[in-house]
């Protein structure tokens, strides 16, 4: 995201300010949701639902200002369509929401529906950056959550049946992926 901000500042200042505002909103949202999820194992709708609107408006507007930013080259029209920033924001939200929804359906005790709802918001941020970031943010969330679980088991502070709030790991994975270069 930092690299993307530098590019936007040079080429499209309007998009720069929109993405910067989206990042600031993400930081505030992430801190609030992390504290609440750690304390109460809950990701409140009153924070998650408005985040769809705020992130959506800011990121879609930034994508529209920045233009396509992608060269179709010889990859064909479908590859060019998949590289459109506006489409990536929407598709990123849908793909990540669907992935977490399927996990929730497969094993309901393992994933709360708050995590599913949050996944759509995070998918917008990661989709804006690109498909690699979407994958990296998702992978990092599960890696960090898994490492935390192993640490709890090793310290004998949890069992295989213990539940952990997964929202903070989703947010941390997204934040880490946002720091990766383009």
Q: What is the mean pLDDT of residues 77-104?
A: 87
pLDDT at position 7: 83
Mind listing the pLDDT tens digit for each residue in 125-135? Answer: 999 999 999 99
pLDDT at position 6: 79
CA–CA gap between residue 154 and residue 75 (Å, rounded):
49
More confident residue, 164 or 5: 164
Please state, rounded to an integer, the average pLDDT across all residues of the chain.
Answer: 91
pLDDT at position 71: 43
Q: Does the pLDDT of residue 4 top 50, yes or no?
A: yes
pLDDT at position 161: 86
CA–CA gap between residue 177 and residue 138 (Å, rounded):
9
Q: Does the pLDDT of residue 165 top 60, yes or no?
A: yes
Q: What is the mean pLDDT of residues 105-119?
A: 95
| DSSP symbols for 130-168 | -HHHHHHHHHHHHHHHHHHHHHHHHTTS--TT-----HH
3-state secondary structure of 107: coil
Measured in whole angstroms, the distance separating CA 29 from the mean position of its chain's CA atoms is 12
CA–CA gap between residue 107 and residue 87 (Å, rounded):
30
Q: Where are the domains of the chain?
A: 2-64+80-179
Q: Give the model's confidence band at 66: pLDDT under 50 very low, under 70 low, under 90 confident, else very high.
A: confident
């Amino acid at each position: 995201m930092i690299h993307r901000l530098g590019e936007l500042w040079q080429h499209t200042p309007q998009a720069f300010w929109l993405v910067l505002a989206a990042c600031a909103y993400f930081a505030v949202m992430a801190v609030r949701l992390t504290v609440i999820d750690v304390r109460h194992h809950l990701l409140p709708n009153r924070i998650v639902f408005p985040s769809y609107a705020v992130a959506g408006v800011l990121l879609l507007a930034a994508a529209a200002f920045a233009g396509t930013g992608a060269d179709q080259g010889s990859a064909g029209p479908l590859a060019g369509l998949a590289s459109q920033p506006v489409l990536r924001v929407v598709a990123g939200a849908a793909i990540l929401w669907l992935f977490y929804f399927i996990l929730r359906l497969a094993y309901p005790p393992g994933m709360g529906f708050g995590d599913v709802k949050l996944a759509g918001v995070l998918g917008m941020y990661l989709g804006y950056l690109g498909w690699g970031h979407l994958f990296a943010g998702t992978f990092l969330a599960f890696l960090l959550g898994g490492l935390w679980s192993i640490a709890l088991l090793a310290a004998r502070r949890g069992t295989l049946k213990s539940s952990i709030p997964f929202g903070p790991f989703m947010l941390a994975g997204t934040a880490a992926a946002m720091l990766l270069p383009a």
